[in-house]
Structure 1
Amino acid sequence: MADVADWTALLPRLSDADRRQVETGLAEADERIRAVLRIASAGYWGSSVTSVPEWSTVDSWSAEERRRAALAMHRESASASTPTALNDVVRALATDDAPFTWADLLWCLHVAAEGHCFDNGAHLELPAMIAPRLTAAELTDLVPALRALSSKLVDDYYLAAAPRRRAVTMFGHAIDRATGSRLPSSLLHHGDTFGPVVRADLDADLAATGVPELLQHCAALNKPAATAKWLRRLDELLAAAPGGRQVVRRLLDAFTAHGRTVHDDTDRLLRGLVWALSREGDERATELLARATTSAASAPRQAAGFPYASRTAIAAVPLLAERDGDVPLRTLARLAVTVRNKAVRSRVQAALTQLGARRGWSLGEVMELAVDDHGLGPDGRLCRAVGPYQATVEIVGERARLAFARDGVALKSVPAQVKQSHADDLADLRGLVKQIGATLVSERQRVEGLLSEERVWSYPDWSSRLLDHPVTATYARRLLWETSADGRRWSAGLPQRDGDGWTLVDRDGHALDHGTVRLWHPVRASTAEVLAWRAHLVAAGLAQPFKQAFREVYLRTPAEEKTETYSNRFAAHILRYRQANALLRARGWQAGYLGTWDGGYDSEATKVFGGGAWRASFHHELVDDPEERRYDVEYCSTDQVRFARLDGTTWHPAPMIDVPPLVFSEAMRDVDLFVGVTSIATDPQWADRGEDRFAAYWHRTAVAELTPSGLVRRDALARLLPRMAIADRVDLAERYLRVRGNLRAYRIHLGSGNIMMEPDDRYLCIVAARSQTGRLHLPFDDDPMLATILSKAIMLAADDRITDPTVLSQLRPYENR
């Protein structure tokens, strides 16, 4: 056992007399048990040894013989190289009538400390079984060592979860017997920061009549779904504990405020607690269950796929879906677009589908109707009096903001009087701003996801759910929609204010018929229509929340139809893996992390499109440096993109020709984004790194033919450049933006952003700031490469004013030419 000095030093010394007493007859018992094991394992490899016929001979042994055999097996389990079945053997031998003593326990602890540590905890099985059988007086001098050992085990992730929990629980029983503690020490332990805090805050309540037994029962729930038997016992314990229901609520309240990852043992306890809360039918219980579900499913920003309490989240999601009212609907809808953990997310989707079916809605309608308005008015504002001041929470752009005014005069900051005398009101308002911000983030993702769906609305539903909703309208009012009276001929338009409401108008300002409405996508439009809308948006100065008119379109190629089941369009690229993985997750793709471990050399990233009916898979694999073995992955290479269709609950591979155009285009756009943003060819400092093994790829890709994202970028530049001060110094070519500086000319590749200096195409490394684009209006804000190219062009057009020594050192050899 690794690092045992801290607890073994607390063990009493085992006298020679005690050792002789324990080891008397051990050799004989050792031989007898080995004989049984040899026979059993030879004929029944892989099965439990205690279930085979040869084991029946043990039934004839006396209690003392079984005691000695158990001690012999304990010594074997602490030193054998294959202790696979020894847990069951020890349990079968250490029956209740076996006369174990204080000396036996001390001897077992010393043997365990001197032996090896196996993941099945066989070396701890016997001492964990003996300890709770001893009297409080016998355990007194062992409590310090047992506490230290239990503390060590809590954080020992070399042990499998089940044997670790069993050992901690049984040692905890012994410690509690010796100390007279009412609350089991195995619950709410120091394995996380949550346990000690709630023990201190709820000390007396946790030890009240019936509460410890209730908490133990909650912690014993081994699966997400509770059995009828477990629930009957839960109801009995809730009835027997006068303060039990209140403790359940206070513990879950404390967890929602904790905001951090909890230990696996605490996660299991919380799972049982949400089941206990689900027995309450009031509205406050529903709200608390919703908060607990959200907290459990939340995750650290740097580890988005690892929730704070995944077991609790998985159990709570279906429980929340069974509740009435809007709170479950809104909570689950928000989780559907924010949760990154695959297991939790799949349960959220299933719960929403179930909830929608029960209320007569499709999944899309469920997500739509669930959007919280947070009490905002149609103008996206909420006003509230706070003392002599007027507080306003409003959506500005795509952010929520809190502002104060007095007597109609806006204030620059929060008044000191509000901070001092109305701290609670201020906290509520700031909390509201945070909640609105979270809803804005999830709504942006949801609305953009509609681009892969063949979703239609009646005009009244579309208007009320999207244009008039104070949060969703932030995005819907800046997007193109199209309407049709017969479902065949569609006319596109932009929302425009019409009196107190909004209506859809075409480019000439004419109102469109109020028929069926759908979200406009360029894949369904003619080239002329797309170009016309792009020109209209630029002229009107309208910035869309994400690319729509300027959105890239990806159509199936003959090569993809020939391969039938996969696309190699974006295969064989070298990506900066950590950046690529982060972007994958940000775009809602689920993927296993690459690494130099078994199963970590390749990964399949997946994302659901088309309202849940289609799934895209993007294959990528680790690029390993044979000369430098690294634990973390620096690069990955891209491979095939495949599609699958949902049939019931099963995904079936689909031919490329069957994939709907919207689904295909949106999935391939994401993959192009991953390559375009994270490829080493877009790294402006790559040329100086000396990575010879990727040199050919870098030079090939850095000046490659433009992908659809590059073509859209070229079209955007064609519309933006004439409006800029550098218009007379730039020329737009097929793949490049040529910039004429005062010293020489440069070519900026429209795909990678790399710069070549004329006349000999020498590479120029510039890391430019986006802020150099100034106040130039961009029709969208989700293409960082466009802003990068513009900032580089502005800098190079005035190359004689460059003062950056890094850039000057690259320009200097040409200054006199």
Structure 2
Amino acid sequence: MGDWTELLPGLTDADRRDVETGLTEADARIRAVLHSASTYHWRFSVTNVPEWTAVGSWPAEERRSAALAMHRESVASSDPGGLNDVVRSLADGDLPWTRADLVWCLEVVARGDFYDLGAHLELPAVIAARLAPTELAGLVPALDALFSELTSGYFIAAEPRRRAVALLGAALDRATGRRLPSWLFHRGDGFGPLVRAEMSGVLSAPGVPELLAHCASLEKPAAPVKWQRRLDEFLATAPGGAEAVRSVLETFAAYGRRLHDDSDRLLRGLAWALSRQPDESATDLLARVTAAAAAAPPQASGFPNAQRTAVAAVQLLAGRSGEVPVRTLARLAVTVKNKAVQSRVQTALARIGALRGWSLSEVMELAIDDHGLSPEGRLCTQVGPYEATVHVTGEKARLTFARDAAPLKSVPSQVKQAYGDELKQLRDLVKRVGATMTAERQRVEGLLSEERTWSYADWSSRYLEHPITGTYGRRLLWETSTDGHLWSTGLPRRDNDGWTIVDRDGRVIAGDRVRLWHPARATTHEVLAWREHVLATALTQPFKQAFREVYLVTPAEEGTHLYSNRFAAHILRYRQANALMRTRGWQTGYLGTWDGGYDSEATKLLGGGAWRASFHHQLVDNPDPSTYDVEYCSTDQVRFARRDGTDWRPATAVDVPPLVFSEAMRDVDLFVGVTSIATDPQWADRGEDRFQAYWHSTVSAALAPSAEVRRDALARLLPRTKIAERVDLSDRYLHVRGNIRTYRIHLGSGTIMMEPNDAYLCIVPARDRTGRLHLPFEDDPMLSTILSKAILLAADDTITDTTVLRQLAG
């Protein structure tokens, strides 16, 4: 119990007798009614059964006593919420409440030891709201402290808590003369006090508190017509209403942190109020509010800052004209991990596409913000005597300064001191460009599951000349054709006449249609030749393309028809696996030891949204069932479904388009390859035997397609290294000859065995030992790990780590 109990004034014996007189009789009478009502089906509220109608005719004093008796009962009840309707019905009407009644009720609450505080405050909140301000004198400190505790509680049922907050807030406002209701912008989060401190005058202007209260009353994302009419009336009668709406939403867009549920509800209504303003600045603000509401704090595991606001704002934004809504929603489509918000974003983008005659994939493509950068990815700005440049370099956006054309190593102190606002704007621009780059990389990679083609002009402008997309498109393989049947492969090259596609010998390939190259459509000879070319030219692709794995339907999957067990029965480190699923664009819930938490389904849309892959996984062998923390999960089936209007129809593996099937299975292979316990070099040293059979079978298993591609990459990389004479590749292993021992590194798990007795060697690389060796892609950490281990072991006589030396000696 909080500090409010210490502020509660005591009752005199006489006051206590006045309150408790008649309680025993009223308790017995109301219990008799409840007993009769208990014969009805559980889904009926007690107050809706015939026996309850007689209670309405009881004298006011008897109903008062019965309400007090039921309040005391609710504190002792294991289901206090079940008595809410009873207490509320008994307390309805003009009853002779006294100050002593309120103090007595609060004493009862203070003595209770309960979970659902909101239910226990039903009666004291009603009494406080009905008492005159003079009768609340002396109780304000206790009520104010209780109000603060109630607004910051997270283990309180939502509806009774909101009702208690509104009633107690109304009582405090009457007692203190506050103009702005206490239950608006309360202290349950940092946002409420911030708004009150910065704009109390704006919020207290005539008509504004009533407008805010109406906005907070919106129960659902879609506002009813009657609610909208009332909103327009409030906006018309409050001269400062529109300004207040914008000011609060501007503050939230800049605040960008997790909100209390009450603040979230209020902002949802304010988003509707903002949508009544048709100008472009309102559209821009609504877009920023949508992005801030849908964003998830790093520690919140994907849950948005303000989910209710995000859901409503997405729908409102989709109805606005211009490019800002499209760009904002397209960015959210690849960054939002919350299922509820993501589904609304997809629906909104489909709606925009239908209105403008675009496919969903094209909507995403046309919405990429260039942030004012030149096609080369640069934006130069004069800041005092200095030239500031925001430029895209590789996978990042950077801010640099120069003076008189001489580059500077850091931000000049004069800029920090005299041009702080300009510096902040430039740094914010760098962050926005970086966010767009992250989203765009994921979107472009997602095109590998689509059969998209572009006209040469569209392809050139969208994938080569765009300052963000171009940093990826210029490093990818493309195919071009004149008839749509015969396709030739090459890389983009810019000359005096613009962009062209050239083959491995530098010859220009003619064609008027372009599509993204995928190894699943190429011959083995072509794939191997392009891999060699990528390495020879030191090209680092933004993601695996030339070295991309291909997954074909197997006879086993033809036999199971509707599902694949190819990656079933693996043990994964759950938190890492869940994070990786979300990073790869899969929507998934969380496993835990609650009802429905023992299994989960991760889903991802592919093929431009026409197909859906589902990856099933379960909680496994949780060592402590009393905790919600899940260490491991086991993998299960992968299933596919085809979009049929608003429905999804299960599809057999053989009916899934090859690119969709391959890309989905590649992701699942990635989940297993990165997060399986078999990839943990310290697993064998833990002394745990729960999964030892799985671990031992997996660390020497046949290679999955991802490991096969890794083997091919190593076959091309190792001859370029200094350890080329000390290594050999076999079907599953990289063999390394050191000066002390010989080693065998599994190409799938990275596990090391020492020859000749197959003793396990645990090495956790402390840093990257690959040096300046060029890697053709950056999205396979196991490749770097294996190379680092091989370089270390080839010179094992120089190892100084005592834990490794002990193992070598053993």
| TM-score past 0.5 threshold | yes
Question: How big is each residue's C-alpha offset from its partner over 1:18-77, in whole Å with a ceiling of 9 and x where there is no partner?
Answer: 222222222222222222222222134320222222222223323333223322322232
Task: Using the TM superposition, give the Cα deviation of residue 698 of structure 1 relative to its aligned residue in structure 2, in angstroms.
Answer: 1.2
Separation of aligned partners in 1, 2:772 and 2:572: 32
Return the letter of the residue paired with 1:572: A
Is 1:229 the equivalent of 2:226?
yes
Task: Using the TM superposition, give the Cα deviation of residue 165 of structure 1 relative to its aligned residue in structure 2, in angstroms.
Answer: 0.8
Separation of aligned partners in 2, 1:89 and 1:275: 36
Counterpart position of 1:582? 579
8 Å CA contact 2:593–2:625 kept in 1: the answer is no
Task: Using the TM superposition, give the Cα deviation of residue 405 of structure 1 relative to its aligned residue in structure 2, in angstroms.
Answer: 1.4
Question: How big is each residue's C-alpha offset from its partner over 1:753-797, in whole Å with a ceiling of 9 and x where there is no partner?
Answer: 111112222122222245210111111111111111111111111
8 Å CA contact 1:479–1:544 kept in 2: the answer is yes
Return the letter of the residue paired with 2:255: H
Counterpart position of 2:806? 809
Return the letter of the residue paired with 1:320: L
Q: 2:430 aligns with which of 420, 430, 433?
A: 433
Identical-pair percentage: 72
Counterpart position of 2:386? 389
8 Å CA contact 1:770–1:788 kept in 2: the answer is no
Counterpart position of 1:741? 738
Separation of aligned partners in 1, 2:303 and 2:80: 32
8 Å CA contact 2:745–2:753 kept in 1: the answer is yes
* SS class of match (2:690): helix
TM-score, normalised to structure 1, is 0.97
Is 1:459 the equivalent of 2:440?
no
Counterpart position of 1:549? 546
Separation of aligned partners in 1, 2:153 and 2:120: 14
- Distance verdict in 2 for CA 1:85–1:597, change over 3 Å: closer
Counterpart position of 2:10? 13
8 Å CA contact 2:622–2:631 kept in 1: the answer is no
Task: Using the TM superposition, give the Cα deviation of residue 406 of structure 1 relative to its aligned residue in structure 2, in angstroms.
Answer: 1.6
Counterpart position of 1:533? 530
- Distance verdict in 2 for CA 1:629–1:278, change over 3 Å: closer
Is 1:105 the equivalent of 2:111?
no
Task: Using the TM superposition, give the Cα deviation of residue 313 of structure 1 relative to its aligned residue in structure 2, in angstroms.
Answer: 0.5
* SS class of match (1:692): coil
Q: 2:517 aligns with which of 508, 517, 520?
A: 520
- Distance verdict in 2 for CA 1:120–1:762, change over 3 Å: same
Return the letter of the residue paired with 1:602: D
* SS class of match (1:78): helix
8 Å CA contact 2:105–2:123 kept in 1: the answer is yes
Counterpart position of 2:38? 41
Task: Using the TM superposition, give the Cα deviation of residue 500 of structure 1 relative to its aligned residue in structure 2, in angstroms.
Answer: 5.5
Separation of aligned partners in 1, 2:174 and 2:66: 27
8 Å CA contact 1:546–1:780 kept in 2: the answer is yes
Answer with 774-783 or 763-772: which moved more: 763-772
8 Å CA contact 2:302–2:337 kept in 1: the answer is yes
Q: 1:186 aligns with which of 167, 183, 188?
A: 183
Counterpart position of 2:590? 593
- Distance verdict in 2 for CA 1:409–1:43, change over 3 Å: closer
Counterpart position of 2:470? 473
**Structure 1 unpaired stretches of 5+:** none
Counterpart position of 1:197? 194
Return the letter of the residue paired with 2:752: I
Counterpart position of 2:696? 699
8 Å CA contact 2:454–2:515 kept in 1: the answer is yes
Counterpart position of 1:57? 54
Counterpart position of 2:419? 422
Task: Using the TM superposition, give the Cα deviation of residue 513 of structure 1 relative to its aligned residue in structure 2, in angstroms.
Answer: 2.2
Question: How big is each residue's C-alpha offset from its partner over 1:350-400, in whole Å with a ceiling of 9 and x where there is no partner?
Answer: 111111111111111110110001111111111122222221111111111
8 Å CA contact 1:305–1:342 kept in 2: the answer is no
TM-score, normalised to structure 2, is 0.97
8 Å CA contact 1:44–1:52 kept in 2: the answer is no
- Distance verdict in 2 for CA 1:328–1:559, change over 3 Å: same
Is 1:369 the equivalent of 2:366?
yes
Task: Using the TM superposition, give the Cα deviation of residue 126 of structure 1 relative to its aligned residue in structure 2, in angstroms.
Answer: 1.6
Is 1:751 the equivalent of 2:748?
yes
Return the letter of the residue paired with 1:600: G
Question: How big is each residue's C-alpha offset from its partner over 1:476-514, in whole Å with a ceiling of 9 and x where there is no partner?
Answer: 011111122222221111111122621111222222223
Separation of aligned partners in 2, 1:80 and 1:574: 44
Is 1:124 the equivalent of 2:121?
yes
Q: RMSD over aligned Cα, in angstroms?
A: 1.6
Is 1:566 the equivalent of 2:563?
yes
Is 1:649 the equivalent of 2:646?
yes
Task: Using the TM superposition, give the Cα deviation of residue 455 of structure 1 relative to its aligned residue in structure 2, in angstroms.
Answer: 1.3
Q: 1:667 aligns with which of 645, 664, 668?
A: 664
Question: How big is each residue's C-alpha offset from its partner over 1:125-178, in whole Å with a ceiling of 9 and x where there is no partner?
Answer: 121111111111001111111111111111222321111011011001001100
8 Å CA contact 2:27–2:66 kept in 1: the answer is yes
Separation of aligned partners in 1, 2:203 and 2:596: 44
* SS class of match (1:583): helix
Counterpart position of 2:140? 143
- Distance verdict in 2 for CA 1:50–1:778, change over 3 Å: same
Task: Using the TM superposition, give the Cα deviation of residue 628 of structure 1 relative to its aligned residue in structure 2, in angstroms.
Answer: 8.0
Separation of aligned partners in 2, 1:110 and 1:737: 74
Q: 1:336 aligns with which of 323, 333, 337?
A: 333
8 Å CA contact 1:705–1:735 kept in 2: the answer is yes
Q: 2:322 aligns with which of 297, 322, 325?
A: 325
Separation of aligned partners in 1, 2:375 and 2:677: 46
Counterpart position of 1:788? 785
Answer with 426-435 or 493-502: which moved more: 493-502
* SS class of match (1:796): helix
8 Å CA contact 1:383–1:391 kept in 2: the answer is yes
Separation of aligned partners in 2, 1:698 and 1:115: 51
Task: Using the TM superposition, give the Cα deviation of residue 244 of structure 1 relative to its aligned residue in structure 2, in angstroms.
Answer: 1.6
Counterpart position of 1:413? 410
Is 1:506 the equivalent of 2:503?
yes
Query: Which runs of structure 1 show a deviation greater than 3 angstroms over 4 or more consecutive aligned residues?
Result: 80-85, 115-122, 625-631
- Distance verdict in 2 for CA 1:222–1:793, change over 3 Å: same
- Distance verdict in 2 for CA 1:94–1:735, change over 3 Å: same
Separation of aligned partners in 2, 1:156 and 1:803: 54
Question: How big is each residue's C-alpha offset from its partner over 1:544-588, in whole Å with a ceiling of 9 and x where there is no partner?
Answer: 100001000111110111111111111111111121111111111
Separation of aligned partners in 2, 1:597 and 1:91: 32
* SS class of match (2:595): coil
Separation of aligned partners in 2, 1:469 and 1:675: 35
Task: Using the TM superposition, give the Cα deviation of residue 434 of structure 1 relative to its aligned residue in structure 2, in angstroms.
Answer: 0.9
Counterpart position of 2:160? 163
Return the letter of the residue paired with 1:114: R
Counterpart position of 2:239? 242
Task: Using the TM superposition, give the Cα deviation of residue 618 of structure 1 relative to its aligned residue in structure 2, in angstroms.
Answer: 1.2
Task: Using the TM superposition, give the Cα deviation of residue 276 of structure 1 relative to its aligned residue in structure 2, in angstroms.
Answer: 1.0
Return the letter of the residue paired with 2:596: G
Q: 2:23 aligns with which of 17, 21, 26?
A: 26
Separation of aligned partners in 1, 2:670 and 2:479: 27
* SS class of match (2:459): helix
* SS class of match (1:693): coil
Task: Using the TM superposition, give the Cα deviation of residue 83 of structure 1 relative to its aligned residue in structure 2, in angstroms.
Answer: 4.3
